[in-house]
């Protein structure tokens, strides 16, 4: 879910502000044997999960989706309808999760309901048969069921601190929060749980037990910080996530734990340790008349993702949020944008869950969601793709596959059509390569040195490139080499992650670095590999031999201790050249070294 | 706006003016004779001096920067070339809103709105949708503009089939043709939609027609036919399915008539009906025949001049046009073939935009919306003149005629409006003498006989000078006879307007222009502005020559000569060292202002020459002012600067300005767009297309290679180092009635051929060497041995 600053709908405010009397209820679920013969084999997130989520349609003002008020799409009838459509159309392609998002315990005025143990309770209007019946239906279709909770003790569940904690004698809600009732989560809608009191873990255990008993296979824990546009001690929910991991393990049921949203990359190690996946960004939904829009916020992912790439892998993946490409009119995207959206999700190895109305997929949307070659990129053994060029409007991402081929994506993020080239030297080889177009299921033949294609505005191409040439020889030049020229504020600094243990930093406000003796045999345009560090995305103007400079944006590496590599084109003459990185009037990344190919 | 009834006095005056003029030119949109159909098959070029190419289509919303222009001199279009949807934004040079606009506002100036003065505007929008040909689903996309054939070709591969689409605008058939072919067993399925852009109602899939409140009728028509498959009208569109190839033919126009007496309309003409007739007639011929006919017609003009500025590298040739512009600017490395192609692109635009109809306006012939900035009008204080400087200089004299025809067709109305309105007491520029004669214009003029923004007294002299230069190049007596009344009327205007003045601190009596504004800065009301003094001085000189050559009005010619003797000419300011713009030693305007109005005697005028014939102080003052104006302005302003530096023989400054215009425009900044149109940054981040630099820059390139005035030719006066190694130009016209073929090596001419196209005697100079050539028309001579 998105930040309050984007949160224009009244229900969101209600959720944060309305304090309700304790909903007195009885436990609806008896502790019972929970081993289901149909339960899937337990295991970590070996590959990105695939499925459907309810939130995109809940959050949209697209005509007819939420006739009973905001977020009212979420009902048993709708979930079952989508479950059936998922099973019929998409299950055979690997889509398996049906994930219920926020609101299942809230009525249509967004008023929450809790059982006597302060646990969320299904809203009887939305889910008249309770949550277990839904999971049972999902399972009966051979699918998995997902559910949702905000992190913390929801304020309305506090009940003056008197609500008992299930299966925890002597524990009440007063015991599990701080005395000052400090609030937490992305909306400040809950009291922060104090895990120094053993009752706190018991509360999480009781919620986990309930979900296990209902038969859920997946939990999205939302509003988690640091992240969710919150920082500071009150919003540090690492202990909550750890408690959830522990509680799920104690149930004996494998439940995938996904944390959300816009999580702090500084805590990536925690998310990897305690969860099975994490939302790296704000909501993809636009909260408008369509499900999403390009600027709000599909395109953000291109800039926000690179710093996270190295953190994804078996056991935990970078979650880019819903993949809403199934119906052009509802999605609010052009065909080109839908393909680009699906391309990025696929190559990033993001979970692939759509938020579309699966009963109304158009033929193009169905082709995007069911392209087996593209799904194989996402679900296969290859690592996530990363940018191999700077973050220019036309850019290339790639991943080296275990079989020696490359997954290569071309992107044109400009608002007009443009040609985009992938140079083989940016992949580390030279000569010829065979190219297969995955979206169009077409072999494009052998291409020498590069492939260039016309892309529509916001368009993409996705290729498998099979090298038929030779490995690329490069010559490295360290930024800190004494022969280089430093200008302005630029200076050499220690850097344990860097080659030679040093780098050139402080490239800002006129600071510049010039490599003074870059030798090539033949004139031409060379893709030079730049090893750099940049906590945030920064730009540098790159030029050769004092000629005209081109400004490039270097994707964030997430911190100032991590080196990443992208390529920038530089036109060199035969013999010795200078190459300059100029911060200009802004801030440039720190430079570790450059590697110049021996062939252009 | 409908012309309102005017008071009897004015009506009488206008009527008097109108009856004085004969019909100046042919109607713009008219039935055409059966064209000659040549048999030779056109050959595409691979020479990067004549071939532009791109690896991406246009965006529907960026057509002015990315659409590729085609035109037959009257009917134009921007084509998007997207595989899935071909989009043509179609224009006719005469499609203007507005009317005569003959009521002054309270400030004594003309209204300047789209309803009253009017605006150049779009005629139609044509789309050919191919739903299965999404750009994301094709590969190997490429589109080319073959300047040597005036032909757009788009190719791409989809599922193993190579699809090819050719678009051209034919003057002989008066239509635009879209020809879709393929090889590999593909089929075309989709729809053609033609519609207006002004909320027109009615009409079917195949044509529409409407009229503006100003009375102008317009219409357009389309037809489509294919091989195999079927083509049929389906409601508002034409559907086609399973066609192995497809030909779409479109035409359109207006009932505009260049005739003041007919109030610029041909009431008998039904444009929609005529368009239908034209597309049917053209569609009766195979597309290949239409193409051959078009190419032969086009090449007759294009082939007149060939230019090489040197050889580009294989690396440069491997880049597409946009990459090449980007690399050229980034690496600051000359790309002689691209630079030659830029000149040829200007010639392509001239041939495509200026034949037999109205002249090229601020937008040339091309629009991406209905409401262009400054109405897409005729700006007479530089832009219209600059549009035509290159016509004669690059062998396209026939394209100049549109400007002549326009001025002559407007002259009766301009005369009437001047006589009835210029001395209106509200007009700050009215003649202090109380006299009123001849004609003048406002800065903005329209094609309805009307004027718009800001009275522009000296505009008459500048238009006259531009028409005169055409005479100097062509020596056409017919042209001279046509423009003589226009020259004379301008002289009469100034005879009535000039004021005697005694120069302070001297006894000297001079004549100065009455209160005026030096375009477009500084004091609004200044007497004796250099701009007017220089232009009127030139005008009087030309008139005297014209009267002499035609044997007319000897007495009046003497009068005019006498006035010219007394004209004040600008001084060099003792304060700034600049040639004065106003009769003041002070700089009263912006030092780096875009206009070079006070240098109009350096270019396009000939009064200020760096050859010793002009006082050194004057040349130095002009040079100092040009230096102060700077080296980085709007496209047309850079072009004018380049022309002035070329006249001063400063090759490197001229070249720098040319290449400044070649820098790629990004984010609306000044420079050259993706499609090579020149972009004018109106405000931060908002660039518009203004065509003048696309013509002014080529004009500057020719002036760097050849300076001429009647009786004198100078070779390579400002050849920059970038072009010096070797090059050639054939068919380069010179004033005085000659055409020059020239080869050079290491910066010096190696062979020179001078051919007379009417001229008799001229000197031909290079460096310290000068030859005198005497030739009869049609004869030529080869000159060698020029050394510096």
Domain positions in chain B are: 8-331, 723-783
* pLDDT in the model for residue B18: 43
Q: What is the CATH number of domain B8-331?
A: 2.70.98.50
Which residues, in sequence order, are bridge partners of residue A447? A433
Q: Which one-letter DSSP state was computed for residue B614?
A: S
Looking at every residue in chain A, the average pLDDT score rounds to: 92
pLDDT classification of A1: cutoffs 50, 70, 90: very low
**B139–A437 C-beta distance less than 8 A:** yes
- Residue A28 pLDDT exceeds 50: no
* pLDDT in the model for residue A460: 98
* pLDDT in the model for residue A18: 31
Q: What is the DSSP string of A287-334?
A: SSSSSBBTTTBTTHHHHHSGGGGGG-BTTBEEE------S-HHHHT--
Closest CB to B332 among A339, A525, A547: A547
- Residue A566 pLDDT exceeds 50: yes
- Mean pLDDT for A489-502 is 97
Residues of B with CB under 8 A from a CB of A: 54-59, 61-62, 65-66, 82, 134-141, 156, 159-160, 315, 320, 327, 329-332
- Same-domain status, A26 and A169: yes
Range list of H helices, B132-222:
none
pLDDT classification of B7: cutoffs 50, 70, 90: very low
Question: In this structure, what token pair is assigned to residue B230?
Answer: 């079927």
* pLDDT in the model for residue A15: 32
pLDDT classification of B36: cutoffs 50, 70, 90: confident
φ, ψ dihedrals at B498, nearest 5°: -65, 145
- Same-domain status, A312 and A341: yes
Question: In this structure, what token pair is assigned to residue B596?
Answer: 């070079």
- Same-domain status, A330 and A308: yes
* pLDDT in the model for residue B11: 41
Query: Looking at chain B, which residue has its C-alpha nearest residue A435?
Result: B139
In CATH, what number is assigned to the domain containing residue A525?
A: 2.60.120.260
* pLDDT in the model for residue A369: 98
CA dihedral (B318, B322, B324, B330) positive or negative: negative
- Same-domain status, A151 and A27: yes
Nearest C-alpha of chain B: how many angstroms from A211? 44
Domain assignment of residue A41, yes or no: no
- Measured between CB atoms, does A442 come within 8 Å of chain B? yes
**A416–B58 C-beta distance less than 8 A:** yes
End residue of a domain, out of A381, A415, A445:
A381
- The whole-angstrom separation of Cα A117 and Cα A26 is 8
Contact partners, residue B775, CB within 8 Å, separation at least 6: B738, B754, B755, B756, B759, B760, B761, B781
- The whole-angstrom separation of Cα A73 and Cα A66 is 5
Domain assignment of residue A448, yes or no: yes
At residue B760, the 3 state secondary structure works out as coil
- Residue B316 pLDDT exceeds 90: yes
pLDDT classification of A19: cutoffs 50, 70, 90: very low
Q: Which of B79, B136, B368, B660 to mutate to test the interface with A (most CBs of A within 10 A)?
A: B136
pLDDT classification of A399: cutoffs 50, 70, 90: very high
Question: In this structure, what token pair is assigned to residue A332?
Answer: 């609010």
Looking at every residue in chain B, the average pLDDT score rounds to: 94
* pLDDT in the model for residue A548: 87
Nearest C-alpha of chain A: how many angstroms from B242? 21
Nearest C-alpha of chain A: how many angstroms from B94? 31
- Same-domain status, A432 and A575: no
* pLDDT in the model for residue B25: 57
Domain assignment of residue A40, yes or no: no
Vertex A567, ends A561 and A570: CA angle to 5°?
125
- Mean pLDDT for B304-315 is 96
Nearest C-alpha of chain A: how many angstroms from B136? 6
Domain assignment of residue A42, yes or no: no
- The whole-angstrom separation of Cα A561 and Cα A580 is 23
Vertex B719, ends B718 and B723: CA angle to 5°?
155
- Same-domain status, A304 and A194: yes
Question: In this structure, what token pair is assigned to residue A84?
Answer: 């059936």
- Measured between CB atoms, does A194 come within 8 Å of chain B? no
Contact, A126 vs A103, CB < 8 A?
yes
Contact partners, residue B5, CB within 8 Å, separation at least 6: none
CA dihedral (B699, B701, B702, B708) positive or negative: positive
- Residue B676 pLDDT exceeds 70: yes
Question: In this structure, what token pair is assigned to residue A375?
Answer: 């799904």
End residue of a domain, out of A327, A348, A381:
A381
Tens of pLDDT, residues A166-210: 999 999 999 999 999 999 999 999 999 999 999 999 999 999 999
Domain assignment of residue A43, yes or no: no
Place of tokens 């600059």: B386
pLDDT classification of B331: cutoffs 50, 70, 90: confident
Tens of pLDDT, residues B688-738: 999 999 999 999 999 999 999 999 999 999 999 999 999 999 999 999 999
- Same-domain status, A408 and A546: no
* pLDDT in the model for residue A547: 87
Contact, B42 vs B292, CB < 8 A?
yes
Q: Which of A417, A453, A548 to mutate to test the interface with B (most CBs of B within 10 A)?
A: A417
* pLDDT in the model for residue A17: 31
Q: What is the pTM of this model?
A: 0.90
Tens of pLDDT, residues A449-471: 999 999 999 999 999 999 999 99
- The whole-angstrom separation of Cα A61 and Cα A64 is 8
Write out the H or E segment, with its range, that includes residue B296: helix B287-302
- Same-domain status, A301 and A348: yes
**Chain B neighbours among A 506-525 (CB < 8 Å)?**
523-525
Which residues, in sequence order, are bridge partners of residue B756? B738
- The whole-angstrom separation of Cα A345 and Cα A328 is 17
Domain assignment of residue A260, yes or no: yes
- Mean pLDDT for B70-83 is 98
Could you tell me which of B250, B380, B386, B245 has the C-alpha nearest to residue B691? B386
Domain assignment of residue A178, yes or no: yes
Contact, B513 vs B600, CB < 8 A?
no
* C-alpha neighbours within 13 Å on the C-beta side of residue B265: 17
pLDDT classification of B787: cutoffs 50, 70, 90: low
Could you tell me which of A111, A257, A244 has the C-alpha nearest to residue A189? A111
* pLDDT in the model for residue B41: 77
As to burial, measured by CB atoms within 10 angstroms (0-12 exposed, 13-18 middle, 19+ buried), residue B779 is: exposed
As to burial, measured by CB atoms within 10 angstroms (0-12 exposed, 13-18 middle, 19+ buried), residue A37 is: exposed
* pLDDT in the model for residue A100: 98
- Same-domain status, A235 and A373: yes
Peptide bond into B604 cis (omega under 30): yes
Of the listed ranges A108-122, B33-47, B596-610, the least confidently predicted one is: B33-47
Query: Looking at chain B, which residue has its C-alpha nearest residue A600?
Result: B315
- Mean pLDDT for A225-237 is 96
Nearest C-alpha of chain A: how many angstroms from B359? 31
* C-alpha neighbours within 13 Å on the C-beta side of residue B509: 5
Contact partners, residue A1, CB within 8 Å, separation at least 6: A55, A102, A186, A187, A222, A223, A228, A260, A261, A283
Peptide bond into B676 cis (omega under 30): no
End residue of a domain, out of A471, A504, A536:
A471
- Residue B593 pLDDT exceeds 80: yes
Question: In this structure, what token pair is assigned to residue A28?
Answer: 């609806």
pLDDT classification of A43: cutoffs 50, 70, 90: low
- Same-domain status, A415 and A353: no
In CATH, what number is assigned to the domain containing residue A233?
A: 3.20.20.70
Q: What does DSSP say about strands B139-146 and B151-158: parallel, antiparallel, or unpaired?
A: antiparallel
Of the listed ranges B43-52, B139-148, B338-347, B555-564, the least confidently predicted one is: B43-52
- Residue A408 pLDDT exceeds 80: yes
Q: pLDDT higher for B264 or B508?
A: B264
**B331–A547 C-beta distance less than 8 A:** yes
- Mean pLDDT for A287-296 is 95
**Chain B neighbours among A 566-595 (CB < 8 Å)?**
571
Query: Looking at chain B, which residue has its C-alpha nearest residue A463?
Result: B139
**Torsion angle defined by CA atoms of residues B521, B522, B528 and B530, in that order, rounded to the nearest 10 degrees:** -50
Q: What is the DSSP string of A109-170?
A: T--B-B-TTS-B---TTT-TTHHHHHHHHHHHTT-EEEEEEESSEEGGG-GGGTPBPTT-TT
The number of folded domains in chain A is: 3
Domain assignment of residue A348, yes or no: yes
- Residue A546 pLDDT exceeds 60: yes
Tens of pLDDT, residues A133-161: 999 999 999 999 999 999 999 999 999 99
- The range of the structural domain enclosing residue A565 comes to 474-597
CB pairs under 8 A between A and B: 79
Length of chain B: 788
Tens of pLDDT, residues B438-495: 999 999 999 999 999 999 999 999 999 999 999 999 999 999 999 999 999 999 999 9
Nearest C-alpha of chain B: how many angstroms from A91? 26
- Residue A22 pLDDT exceeds 50: no
């Amino acid at each position: 879910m998105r930040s309050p600053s984007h949160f224009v709908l009244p229900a969101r405010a209600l959720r944060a502000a309305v304090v309700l009397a304790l909903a007195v209820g009885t436990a609806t679920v008896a502790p019972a044997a929970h081993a289901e013969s149909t339960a899937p084999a337990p295991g970590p997130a070996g590959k990105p999960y695939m499925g459907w989520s309810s939130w995109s349609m809940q959050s949209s003002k697209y005509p007819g989706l939420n006739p009973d008020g905001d977020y009212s799409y979420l009902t048993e009838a709708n979930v079952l309808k989508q479950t059936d459509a998922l099973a019929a159309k998409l299950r055979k392609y690997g889509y398996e999760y049906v994930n219920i998002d926020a609101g299942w315990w809230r009525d249509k005025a967004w008023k929450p309901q809790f059982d006597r143990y302060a646990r969320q309770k299904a809203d009887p209007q939305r889910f008249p048969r309770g949550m277990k019946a839904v999971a049972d239906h999902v399972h009966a279709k051979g699918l998995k069921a997902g559910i949702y909770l905000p992190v913390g003790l929801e304020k309305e569940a506090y009940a003056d601190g008197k609500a008992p904690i299930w299966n925890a004698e002597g524990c009440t809600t007063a015991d599990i929060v701080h005395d000052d009732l400090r609030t937490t989560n992305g909306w400040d809608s809950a009291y922060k749980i104090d895990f120094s009191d053993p009752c706190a873990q018991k509360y999480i255990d009781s919620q986990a037990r309930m979900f296990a008993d209902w038969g859920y296979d997946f939990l999205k824990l939302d509003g988690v910080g640091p992240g969710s546009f919150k920082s500071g001690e009150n919003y540090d929910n690492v202990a909550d996530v750890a408690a959830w991991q522990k509680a799920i393990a104690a149930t004996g049921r494998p439940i995938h734990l996904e944390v959300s949203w816009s999580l702090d990359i500084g805590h990536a190690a925690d998310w990897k340790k305690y969860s099975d996946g994490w939302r790296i960004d704000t909501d993809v939904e636009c909260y408008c008349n369509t499900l999403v829009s390009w600027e709000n916020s599909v395109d953000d992912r291109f800039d926000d993702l690179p710093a996270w790439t190295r953190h994804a892998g078996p056991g935990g993946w970078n979650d880019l949020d819903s993949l809403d490409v199934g119906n052009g009119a509802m999605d609010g995207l052009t065909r080109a944008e839908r393909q680009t959206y699906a391309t990025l999700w696929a190559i990033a190895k993001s979970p692939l869950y759509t938020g579309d109305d699966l009963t109304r997929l158009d033929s193009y949307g169905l082709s995007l969601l069911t392209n087996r070659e593209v799904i194989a990129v996402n679900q296969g053994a290859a690592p996530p793709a990363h940018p191999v060029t700077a973050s220019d409007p036309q850019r290339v991402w790639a991943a080296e596959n275990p079989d020696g081929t490359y997954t290569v994506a071309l992107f044109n993020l400009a608002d007009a059509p443009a040609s985009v080239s992938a140079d083989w030297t940016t992949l580390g080889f030279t000569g010829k390569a065979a190219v297969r177009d995955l979206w169009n299921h077409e072999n494009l033949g052998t291409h020498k040195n590069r492939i260039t294609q016309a892309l529509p505005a916001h368009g993409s191409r996705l290729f498998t490139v099979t090298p038929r040439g030779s490995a690329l020889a490069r010559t490295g030049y360290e930024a800190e080499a004494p022969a280089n020229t430093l200008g302005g504020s630029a200076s050499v600094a220690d850097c344990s992650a860097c080659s030679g243990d040093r780098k050139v930093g402080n490239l800002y406000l006129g600071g510049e670095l010039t490599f003074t003796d870059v030798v090539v045999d033949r004139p031409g345009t060379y893709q030079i590999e730049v090893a750099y560090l940049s906590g945030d995305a920064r730009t540098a103007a790159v030029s050769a031999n004092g000629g005209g400079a081109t400004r490039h944006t270097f994707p964030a590496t997430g911190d100032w201790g991590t080196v990443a590599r992208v390529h920038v084109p530089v036109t060199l003459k035969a013999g010795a050249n200078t190459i300059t990185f100029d911060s200009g009037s802004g801030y440039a990344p720190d430079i570790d070294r450059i590697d110049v190919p021996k062939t252009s | 706006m409908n012309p309102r009834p005017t008071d009897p006095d004015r009506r009488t005056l206008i009527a008097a003016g109108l009856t004085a003029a004969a019909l100046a030119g042919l109607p713009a949109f008219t039935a055409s004779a059966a064209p000659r159909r040549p048999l030779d098959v056109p050959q595409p070029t691979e020479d990067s001096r004549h071939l532009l190419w791109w690896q991406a289509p246009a965006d529907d919303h960026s057509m002015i920067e990315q659409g590729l222009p085609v035109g037959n001199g009257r009917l134009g279009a921007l084509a998007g070339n997207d595989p899935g949807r071909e989009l043509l934004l179609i224009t006719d040079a005469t499609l203007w809103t507005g009317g005569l606009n003959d009521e002054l506002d309270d400030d004594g100036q003309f209204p300047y709105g789209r309803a009253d003065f009017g605006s150049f505007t779009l005629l139609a929008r044509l789309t050919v949708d191919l739903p299965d040909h999404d750009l994301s689903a094709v590969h190997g996309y490429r589109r080319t503009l073959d300047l040597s054939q005036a032909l757009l070709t788009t190719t791409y591969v989809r599922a193993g089939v190579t699809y090819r689409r050719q678009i051209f605008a034919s003057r002989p058939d008066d239509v635009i043709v879209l020809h879709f072919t393929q090889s590999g067993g593909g089929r075309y399925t989709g729809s053609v939609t033609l519609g207006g852009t002004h909320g027109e109602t009615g009409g079917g899939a195949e044509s529409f027609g409407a009229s503006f409140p100003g009375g102008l009728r317009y219409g357009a028509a389309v037809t489509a036919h294919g091989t195999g498959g079927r083509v049929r009208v389906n409601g508002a569109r034409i559907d086609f399915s399973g066609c192995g190839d497809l030909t779409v033919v479109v035409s359109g126009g207006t009932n505009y008539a260049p005739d003041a007496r007919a109030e610029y309309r041909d009431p008998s003409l039904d444009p929609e009906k005529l368009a239908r007739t034209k597309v049917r007639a053209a569609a009766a011929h195979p597309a290949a025949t239409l193409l051959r006919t078009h190419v032969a017609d086009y090449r007759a003009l294009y082939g007149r001049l060939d230019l090489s500025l040197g050889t580009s590298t294989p690396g440069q040739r491997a880049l597409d046009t946009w990459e090449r512009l980007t690399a050229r600017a980034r690496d600051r490395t000359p790309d002689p073939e691209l630079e030659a192609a830029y000149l040829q692109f200007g010639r392509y635009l001239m041939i495509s935009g200026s034949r037999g109809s109205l002249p090229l306006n601020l937008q040339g012939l091309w629009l991406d919306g209905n409401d262009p900035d400054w109405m897409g009008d005729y700006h007479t204080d530089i832009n219209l003149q600059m549009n035509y400087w290159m016509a004669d200089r690059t062998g396209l004299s026939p394209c100049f005629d549109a400007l002549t025809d326009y001025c002559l067709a407007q002259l009766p109305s301009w005369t009437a409006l001047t006589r009835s309105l210029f001395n209106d007491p509200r007009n700050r520029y009215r003649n202090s003498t109380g006299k009123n004669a001849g004609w003048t214009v406002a800065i903005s003029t329209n094609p309805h006989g009307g004027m718009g923004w800001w009275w522009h007294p000296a505009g008459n002299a500048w238009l006259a000078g531009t028409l005169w230069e055409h005479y100097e190049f062509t020596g056409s007596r017919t042209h001279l006879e046509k423009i003589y009344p226009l020259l004379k009327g301008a002289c009469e205007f100034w005879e009535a307007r000039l004021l005697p003045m005694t120069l302070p601190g001297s006894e000297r009596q001079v004549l100065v222009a009455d209160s005026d504004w030096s375009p477009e800065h500084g004091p609004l009301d200044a007497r004796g502005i250099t701009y007017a003094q220089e232009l009127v001085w030139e005008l009087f000189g030309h008139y005297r020559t014209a009267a002499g050559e035609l044997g007319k009005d000897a007495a009046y010619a003497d009068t005019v000569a006498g006035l010219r003797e007394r004209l004040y000419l600008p001084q060099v300011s003792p304060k700034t060292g600049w040639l004065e713009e106003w009769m003041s030693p002070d700089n009263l305007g912006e030092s780096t202002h875009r206009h070079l109005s006070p240098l109009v005697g350096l270019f396009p005028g000939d009064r200020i020459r760096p050859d010793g014939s002009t006082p050194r102080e004057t040349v130095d003052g002009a040079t100092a002012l040009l230096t102060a104006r700077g080296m980085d302005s709007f496209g047309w302003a850079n072009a004018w600067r380049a022309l002035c530096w070329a006249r001063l023989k400063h090759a490197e400054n001229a070249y720098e300005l040319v290449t400044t215009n070649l820098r790629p425009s990004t984010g609306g900044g000044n420079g050259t767009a993706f499609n090579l149109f020149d972009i004018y940054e109106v405000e931060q981040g908002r660039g518009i297309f203004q065509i003048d630099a696309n013509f002014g820059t080529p004009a500057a390139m020719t002036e760097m290679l050849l300076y001429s005035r009647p009786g004198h030719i100078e070779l390579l006066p400002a050849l920059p180092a970038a072009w010096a190694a070797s090059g050639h130009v054939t068919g380069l016209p010179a004033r005085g009635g000659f055409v020059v073929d020239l080869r050079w090596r290491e910066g010096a001419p190696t062979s020179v051929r001078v051919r007379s196209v009417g001229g008799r005697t001229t000197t031909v100079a290079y460096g310290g060497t000068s030859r005198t050539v005497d030739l009869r028309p049609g004869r030529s001579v080869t000159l060698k041995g020029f050394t510096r």
